[in-house]
Amino acid sequence: RKEVEQDPGPFNVPEGATVAFNCTYSNSASQSFFWYRQDCRKEPKLLMSVYSSGNEDGRFTAQLNRASQYISLLIRDSKLSDSATYLCVVNLLTTSGTYKYIFGTGTRLKVLA
Amino acid sequence: DGGITQSPKYLFRKEGQNVTLSCEQNLNHDAMYWYRQDPGQGLRLIYYSQIVNDFQKGDIAEGYSVSREKKESFPLTVTSAQKNPTAFYLCASSPRGVATDTQYFGPGTRLTVL
pLDDT, one tens digit per residue, over A8-61 is 999 999 999 999 999 999 988 888 999 999 999 999 999 999 977 789 999 999
The answer to whether the Cβ–Cβ distance between B107 and A42 falls below 8 Å is yes
Q: Do strands A70-75 and A19-25 pair parallel, antiparallel, or not at all (unpaired)?
A: antiparallel
The answer to whether the Cβ–Cβ distance between B40 and A8 falls below 8 Å is yes
Closest in B98, B99, B102 to A46, CB measured: B102
Rounded to whole angstroms, how far apart are CA atoms B31 and B12? 28
pLDDT digit string, tens, across residues A59-110? 999 999 999 999 999 999 999 999 999 999 999 888 878 888 999 999 999 9
Q: What are phi and psi of B64, to 5 degrees?
A: -125, 155
Q: What distance in Å separates residue A64's CA from the closest CA in chain B?
A: 15
The answer to whether the Cβ–Cβ distance between B50 and A98 falls below 8 Å is yes
